[in-house]
Amino acid sequence: MIIKALRIGLGQLIVLLDLITRPRKLKRTPESQAAVAQAASALALYQFHACPFCVKTRRTLHKLNVPVALRDAKNDAQARQELQQQGGRIKVPCLRIEENGQSRWLYESKAIIAYLQERFAAA
């Protein structure tokens, strides 16, 4: 019971620190931002709100100014079921990438961040 309360408290502290120290968004021309939004419409991030690795991934999304759909795999039963049945396991963060009618599930925050930076960072 005490460990659960401590975990919840630390999770909320991590979220608060993220909000306070959030990096600035990458500035793009309206045309470039529209292209990024179009490309990001094929992505969805399955995550837990207070997970440190999910926070790290969301910070990268914010910094790169990429509007990805967020799916709460902890509190949304449908998102959790999609993650388990289609992704193969309940592990977050997980980025679902839709390409050519196929879904690819990318786990691990480092791999997701590398993918996002390669695809959306300014040249």
- For the segment 26-84, what is each residue's pLDDT rounded down to a tens digit? 999 999 999 999 999 999 999 999 999 999 999 999 999 999 999 999 999 999 999 99
* CA dist., res. 32 & res. 110, Å (int): 25
Structural domains of the chain, count: 1
Task: Give pTM, 2 decimals.
Answer: 0.88
CATH code at position 65: 3.40.30.10
- What is the bridge-based pairing of β-strands 69-72 and 94-99? unpaired
Query: What residue numbers bound the domain in which 18 lies?
Result: 2-120
CB 23 within 8 A of CB 65: no
* CA dist., res. 70 & res. 116, Å (int): 15
